[in-house]
Structure 1
Amino acid sequence: MNVLHMQLSGGFGGIATLSREISKYSQDQNVFVFLFEGGCVADEMKAEGIPVYVLNASHKSDRKAKQEYLDICRKHNIDVIVSHTGCFMEFRILLFLKKKIPTAKIFMYEHCDMVGAMGVGWKGIVNRMLYRKCFSMAQGGIAISKYVKGTALQLTPGEDSKIEVVYNGVDLDKFQYIKRERKDYLRIIYVGRIVPEKGCDLLIQAISDLPQNVKVKVFFVGEGTDMLECKRMAAELGVQDKISFEGKSNRVRDYLYAADVFVHPARCPEGFGITLVEAMATGLPCIAFEKGAIPELITSGREGFLEKDVDAGKLAEMISQMYEKLCDGSIEAMSRNAVEKARIFDIKVTAHKLHELYEMEERI
């Protein structure tokens, strides 16, 4: 199948990165069109010989972009068009393409809380209307988790059979299990943006709340708007010697291999949690709150620990439990469970399931 992917930006981000990884194992001929701008991921795709187009479209008018999309579809004999973002302009272009190429299959790829993605006010009303119109003509929807599917069904009630859950995938050739040399303290890692919704402040408070006998070292890998506030908070609570802010890094695997547990203290509901799966693939049990799709990835007590209440005290309790497992050696069993669970989310499985969906004649 010749598949065209509609995206907004080719910079470093979850959707573009996932698409690049899937294309490596895809049986289909994939073409990527970035509506507004290119970036590092788009450049990497080009270097790998993948057809990539950056339209640098105007935010005010979609007339030129519509024609460019149509020309690209005709040039590559596109069979399937995949819309990856809930964007007003993308919806309009999608409706135009379906009118011009009625035989093309349309798929709405749902990467996040779809209700939130539509926006609020008059803009949200218009986006919802356009989304429903696009979905009605689409072959189906592709949700990255059951949680995301649930949010999509709030926009299109009664369409359960038309939305398929295809979990995001991780390249298990890159993130492999290693047996760790354990120390007498728990090495904790967080990877992601340091912004309020990710709850890094909760992790810092939790470290302050730990009993004195629980020895830990925390590594924050990432950057964001909350970095200075988190550093200030660590100093104010007197735990700065237990916390290291590593900044953004392209050596994430090395950090994962040097840790004992992965902590994801997000306040917000996550549509999936790719960093959690990467961590589990290397043998790291995970600690998180029971938000969004996280319970689909982790069974509390098996691959890690989950808590319903978003609370620093509860986070401290889970860290203390993991420290006990480190001390008595039972963390090894949890580590093996994490690796086993991660195999479900192999990128090769994701690519194969997408190919099967694209090939289906009609959704039941």
Structure 2
Amino acid sequence: MTDATPIVTAEETRKRRRWLNWLGTTIGFGLIALLAWRLDWRQFAEVLQSARPEFVLATFLAITLEQVIRGWKWRQILTPLCDCRTSHLFGATMAGYLANLLVPLGLSPFVRSWLVARKQHISMSCALATVAIDRLVDGLVFAAFVVVVVFAAIIPDPNGNIGLGLLLGAGGSTVAIVGVLLLLAHHKRRSASGIGILLALADRLPGRFAVRARSLALAFADGIVWPRERWRGVAIVLASIVIKLIAASHLFWAGLAFGVVLEPLVYLALLAILGFIVILAHMARVPAGFVVGAVFSLGLFGVDNATALAMVTVVMVANMLAVAVFGGWGLWNHGVGFSDLGRRKVADDAGP
């Protein structure tokens, strides 16, 4: 390192993150303000009052069914480690969402892993690895959906910018996910012999931190599993496909509540566009990314802002209601109270 090489301190890094968070928040509120300024609030109120309750209920049931299937899919991934009931995994998943709703700090995968680890007497790191595999499979399936949507040419995109962006996003996601899967496989294989990059890095830490980090890395490697039965592997992929189809139906049912019916493939296009918008908004720390993105996406297909916002409102309310009801039930089913969701309690009970 030369004398001219700049040294970035931890304090400077924190300041940059703070400014980025403020920038994302400012952009988010700016977009919300723009949407509010362009919206006819009287029309929005009239549209919202016209909602048909049977389709609002259908939205709630679709959201619930999606998570039940997610719990079943997770059960198939966990079979090499333990025999879990789908109801317990569904409850743990919804409890994780509830924790994230109450404390929006990305706690969902940690809470659901903690709950399953307590119930099945396995390590939290081991359970967390299965959650990672679950999400990686979902990511590959989502990328495949995006490719289908782009080549079906159903997005009103005369310049091809949206289609190109979706393809680049899908391609980049696929490369990243495959790379992570290869790294996980490498970690699993090397950890079996007590060696590997993660273990070597852990050993470089001071004293008791090295012992703890090595234990966590080994436990995480134990959770990098895939069922031996071929039918289970196929079922995991098929379940992920069904989950995406049901997720695409959320706006279908919410639209029916207000008499909006779009072409079937349009709902897949909305899923693809919204998926990347939400990811980018999360990375940029932009609040209300789903709301603004959904209204924008629905507008591409001719849905006016008032109706689009009403549809989004139904989806959000149905989702929060499902999370509140079944998340609370999931905590009760696992013998956990709201006071046990703190980071310290989770860390104390997690073990390696």
Between Structure 1 and Structure 2, the one with more helix by share is 2
Between Structure 1 and Structure 2, the one with more strand by share is 1
TM-score band w.r.t. shorter chain? under 0.3
Q: Which structure has more RCO (C-alpha within 8 Å, separation ≥ 6)?
A: 2
